[in-house]
Chain A
Amino acid sequence: MINPLLELKDISHSFLLNSGQNIKVLQNIQLTIVPNEILVILGPSGSGKSTILRILAGLLAPTYGKVFSHEKILQTANPEVSMVFQNFALLPWLTAWENIYIGLDSSALSKEEKELRTKKIITMVGLGGFEEAYPRELSGGMKQKVGLARALVMQRPILFLDEPFSALDVLTAESLRREVLNVWKKKEASLQSLVLVTHNIHEAALMGGRIIVLGTNPGHIRLNIKNDLPYPRDEKSSAFKTLVENIHDIITEVIIPDTPEWVPPALAPHSVEAVPPVNINEILGLLELVASNNGRVDAFALAQKLMKDSVQILLMAKAAELLDLVDTPKNSIVLTEVGKKLVQGDSNEKKQIIQNALMQLKLTQILLEKIEGNPNLSLSYESGAELVHELLPNENSEKVLDTMIQWCRYGEVFNYNDNTKALYKDIPEKNT
């Protein structure tokens, strides 16, 4: 077996939120990175994929478990790793040249050598002519090229890419992906292995030699897929399409399982469902789209058509399903009878249907019970978040509560006052 460059053993990690809540984001992660591979870590938001990357880079010490670099325990920032960031992480007051040059600031090379290297990299990524440009003068794609050049100029064996294309438009992202693949294939800048973190299935299939699919709550490794398709990959080929569909099925299964995971009743007395962080208007929009498509669409095809992230579409579908507005057999989204009524109704009827649907949710019932249990018909945000945390210990309770507030405001189930930070119900007037 080849000696791994980097290895994670039994990694678990928890974050302490400002609210004092402890959230477990990673559980029992085992992972190796070997020379000459592109490893893709794929997962929906909240699966802890960026956390894995930061632990591998030595930016973050895991709560539990060990990180090995060449079979030695890693105790500092990993000196073999360079990184490209989602939001570019460029210094706004430095030119493109200076931003790249900073990658060599701490190296022992001579000044001439540093300048030579910088020049070479600039030509390689196609930034020639933009040396004196400030980040504000550059488009998103050009900015990320600077970020890439800064990482490559260090000539480190491992390159980490943390959702590097997600802030770019579709076409720019596509061309940059090809560029990164080229750099890796030619083994330029002494690059050996790439680790890419993404939530984009298409991107994973296009680039990954090995794809790790993560599950959520807490983040864990769901599957390890080997992808032997030769580079450059033909997206039209049936092999590529099959691969994408397979991964998609797995992700769908993660987000909207057909067979609900069995939970011991003692742990979930109310079987409360966590609401996904989706805007209520997005749900309504999704329903309209499904209706205009004769009441049935394929989630993945829809994502591609809208050029949206399929994970986001799946979350919307999950939210709609929670409210009983759609069913999700396999990858499809199908309107229910209630869903059809909602699409045809006027805005008052829509509100009424959402209200009824919300009242069916255990979480709504529990929150309402608390609000109505209070003599002035209100509940502080803090106690609301605490309550959610008790019911759903693995979720970010504030996110869940924010979503609930937003939905319930629309459905007029209860209201929220941001000044007093309280959930409340209007006291019914006696005369009406």
Chain B
Amino acid sequence: MKTYGIYKRQGLSLYDLTAIICIAFLLYGVIATAKRWSGDLTPSAPISLSLKELPLYAVYSLFRASIAYILSFIFAIVVGYAAAKNKMAEKIILPLLDIGQSLPVLGFLPGLVLGLIALFPKNNFGLELACIIMIFTSQTWNMCFSFYSSVKAVPESIQEMGTIVGLSRIQRLFKIELPYSATGLAWNSLVSMAGGWFFLTVCEAFTLENKNFRLPGLGSYMAIAIENGNTQAIFFGIVAMLAVIILMDFVIWRPIIAWTSKFQLDNSSESSSTEIPFMSLLLKESPVVQELLNFLKNIFSRLGFYSSFFNKKYKPLKIAQQYKSSPKKIYLIKVILISILCVLSFTVVGKIYALLITLTKREISLIFIGSFYTFLRVFAALAIASLWTIPIGIFIGSSPKWTRIFQPIIQIIASFPAPMIFPLVLIILQFFGIRMGAGACFLMLIGVQWYLLFNVLAGAIGISHQLRDSFRLMGVSKKQTWLKLYLPSIFPSLVTGWIAAAGSAWNASIVAEYIQSQGTTLSTLGLGALISDATAKANYGVLTASLLLMIGIVIITNRLLWQPLLQFSENRFPMEQR
């Protein structure tokens, strides 16, 4: 994997052609998006089911998801950096990230939409922004954590080297900290993007205060197609979504992951696939791309961006003060922070209280019974998912051949936004006489099982070959091999998978327990259904109470169940001993 020379060729090559198509597509997307954003406010955009419109819808959705992802990435770098570099910031940011991670994002849609539309009453800017913020809040947290822990894990001697050599903070970020976190960020981006599609499709079509909101995109296209029972449109909607996901996978994620493998720390990764994705070659071999890059570089250096930003003159960093931070200053900052917090929480608590006292006794009991049912559904979905993903994951993961075949497929299926086909699945379930209560559980299962499969697979790939060989030599029975080797080996990954799956199962309950299709609303008793129902009917008391309860349950199960389990698995079955 050495550098590839730039071949000077005459005429246009295949690479050039691809590059030009990509650039043209990008321009088209930017213009279409800009037009849509600045257009007159249309809360319920008319959706045409004709095939001709489908590519444009795909572009809208793709750009929404991409803008949200870029925002998440920038946010993750800024926040993760602050938390890793400043002790004070770390103490504030980490708990906030933890809460952010457990937010049932969808419950905040109404407030956000109404607020932003009020801010931008003339055009679609507010509506689009609301959708993007929803996607953003679903994808940024794991990236923040990933970057934070990577920066923290940079060896001390490397940091010391940076100080002695005299790297500025920016140089250090680009030369040391970003490369160290590249692998983690790339994989987390992949997961985030998959989660992003999920929320995108939900946020493109929803009901609020008995009004239908629709943003033109694949999600709304599918919603309308299902509503009208248009089989052809349903089919092509799914195809278009899959096409977008597969295209993204080939054009963006694979090259990025191949590129980041360069930054992997362990030296044994040489044997990993040496196949160079088309797009990485494209970047290096197309004169058009090279010209473009040079052009951009020139502009930047003209602007003095490079010289001031990257070639900052040597200025040694101040000595790290271990004990000398003045207690007075810290005390003052603490007082200010606490007083701001107090004022904020007083107003918020006041508002919430005003909403909560409007609740009737019946509503309160509904909320508690509903959360019990949703709780059961979440864990039932986890249990069923575990039942099939553990054996299948281990089977695929322990054979390099099957892994090679299945991993990319699973990656794509996992990225497919399940809510898009929820109504469809429900119709099929009803055909078999399965009622909505169990059906919602099944829908949640569809949404979350991939997290589990992914993690079990990763764990199974890591099972030590030496151990497996020695078990075979000793003639250990199949059952004992599973109990003594396979399950303990994948357990830490399994727990990580459970945590991710449980979090998104709670979120998914909001769309899985309450489904609008063909003019009717199907719902069952549950916390998610209550949130959706309250959103549609603008019952803010119930909405607030249900949301608070859901956040509370997620945080409490995290603290009391998942965190201890994670700690236990890391102590009992540590990774490095394999």
Contacts and interface: CB of A to CB of B under 8 A. Distances in A.
For the side of the interface on A, what is the size category? 35 or more
B312 A136 contact: no
B513 to A, nearest CB: 40
A77 B176 CA distance: 18
Contacts of B317: 76-77
Interface stretch (B163-171, B187-195, B341-349): B163-171
Interface in B29-47: none
B405 interface: no
Contact of B267 (A74, A85, A92, A150): A92
B369 to A, nearest CB: 39
A372 B159 CA distance: 47
A57 B317 CA distance: 12
A309 B328 CA distance: 48
Interface string A71-105: 00011111101110111010111000000001101
Interface string B67-84: 000000000000000000
B165 to A, nearest CB: 5
B484 interface: no
Contacts of B175: 91, 102, 105
A128 to B, nearest CB: 18
Contact of A106 (B167, B263, B264, B270): B167
Interface in B517-543: none
Contacts of A63: 322-323
Contacts of B2: 132
A116 interface: no
A82 B164 contact: yes
For the side of the interface on B, what is the size category? 35 or more
A154 B163 CA distance: 13
Contact of B265 (A79, A92, A154): A92
A79 B324 contact: no
B165 A59 contact: no
A265 B106 CA distance: 69
A419 interface: yes
Nearest to B568: A419
A59 B262 contact: no
A132 to B, nearest CB: 7
B459 to A, nearest CB: 21
Contacts of A103: 165
B263 A93 contact: yes
A85 B156 CA distance: 11
B320 interface: yes
Nearest to A104: B165
Contacts of B319: 58-61, 74-77
A409 interface: no
A135 B2 CA distance: 14
B161 A79 contact: no
Given A102-B175, A106-B167, A76 B316 contact: yes
B171 A86 contact: no
B320 A136 contact: no
A211 B522 CA distance: 84
B318 interface: yes
Contacts of B312: 106
A83 B160 contact: yes
A77 B179 contact: no
Contact of B322 (A60, A76, A81, A83): A60
Contacts of B168: 106
Contacts of B179: 91, 93
Given A106-B171, A132-B2, A85 B160 contact: yes
24 contacts: A54-B160, A58-B316, A59-B319, A60-B320, A63-B323, A76-B317, A79-B314, A79-B316, A83-B160, A83-B161, A85-B161, A89-B158, A93-B263, A103-B165, A105-B165, A105-B175, A106-B165, A106-B166, A106-B167, A106-B312, A107-B166, A108-B313, A135-B267, A136-B267
Interface of A: 54, 57-61, 63, 74-79, 81-83, 85-87, 89, 91-93, 102-103, 105-108, 132, 135-136, 150, 154, 418-419
Given A91-B179, A105-B166, 6 more contacts: A77-B164, A79-B314, A83-B161, A85-B161, A105-B165, A150-B165
The 10 closest A-B pairs by CB, nearest first: A136-B267, A76-B316, A89-B157, A106-B166, A77-B316, A106-B314, A89-B161, A61-B319, A85-B157, A77-B163
